[in-house]
Structure formats: C-alpha cells, structure tokens
Amino acid sequence: MSRVLSLYNRLAPLPLGKRLFSAGFALKAPYFASVRPRFTVVEPNHVELVVPNWIGVHNHIGTVHAIALCNGLEAAMGALAESSIPADKRWIPKGMEVSYTAKATSAITCIAETDQSQWDGEDPDVGVRVRGERTDGTVVVEGVIRLWVTPRKP
C-alpha cells in the first residue's frame, strides 16, 4: 500500500482526519494549497476532493477560475496515481486535455478515475479520466490527464 493511501486510511476515520490529510497533501505540493483541496475519497483508481467556492479562486465573473479547476483536477490525479501505481513503477504528468462545459458557480468536486489494468500493463501512457462537478451534479470541466509511467530505477 502506498504512503498516500496508508496515511489517508489512518487519518480519515479520525475527527478532522480528512482535513488533516488534505492540509498535509497541500504542504507536500504547496501549489495545491492555493485551491484549499478537501479530500473526501482516496482509493486505488478513484479519488475525490472538493475545491471550495471562495474569492481566492474566482475569476473576473465570480465563478471558480479555469486554472483553479485544473489545479483541483491535478491534485486529485496526483493522489490517485500515488494510491494506484504498482511499487515498481513511477509516474510523471505529461499533458492535460480538458473541456469547460458549464460555469463553476459552487464548490467543485474534482474526481479522478482509472482502471487497474492501465497501471498493470506495459503501455507507458496512462490516461487518468478527470471531471469536476458542481454541488447540483452538473459537470463543469472534464478531460484526461496523461501520465508517463516507467519502471522505477533499482
């Protein structure tokens, strides 16, 4: 079990445990702190986090900014990759393709998903499916974050 998944599983049942995990995750990768991610689900091949709707992530029309959405999606993808990848492999992002499909007028749940077969295969190109949903369930952003997955050096 990865360190990220192990830490989440230890902290999540505790009072404020998910918030503590979220803060620690943002400390490890400080740029993620700019969107104040709150992880709600961390499992192999499935991660969800919430990007709160607050002035610090707004654009000029008062909705959640496109780059803040991408930041949330990338945080979800990072936790998913760390929780899903086999111990003998490593990963690095190589690209992101997203479409903005509706205004982000509420807190946004960022979801990242893969299938275990993507990690177990020999193809070094792993596509992580990502989407962001408003509190009413409307998808506001969706796409794929591509990872380069290679064997870990001994």
Check: CB of residue 35 under 8 Å from CB of residue 72: yes
DSSP-derived secondary structure for 78-108: HHHHHHHS-TTEEEEEEEEEEEE-S---S-E
| Eight-class DSSP state of 21 | H
Distance of CA 59 to the CA centre of its chain: 21
Query: Which residue segment(s) compose the domain that 75 sits in?
Result: 3-151
H-helix segments, the chain: 3-11, 17-28, 66-84, 116-120
pLDDT at 136: 98
Work out how many domains the chain is built from and give that number: 1
Give the residue from 106, 121, 111 showing the smallest Cα distance to 43: 111
Tokens of 17: 């445990």
pLDDT by position in tens, the chain (length 154): 799 999 999 999 999 999 999 999 999 888 999 999 999 999 999 999 999 999 999 999 999 999 999 999 999 999 999 999 999 999 999 999 999 999 999 999 999 999 999 999 889 999 999 999 999 999 999 999 999 999 998 8
pLDDT at 122: 87
* pTM, to two decimals: 0.95
Question: The domain that contains 133 carries what CATH number?
Answer: 3.10.129.10
Distance CA 61, CA 10 (A): 40
Tokens of 83: 């929780």
Q: What type of residue sits at position 61? A: I
Q: What type of residue sits at position 65? A: H
Greatest Cα pair distance, the chain, in angstroms, is 50
- Residue 140 half-sphere exposure toward CB, CA atoms < 13 A: 25
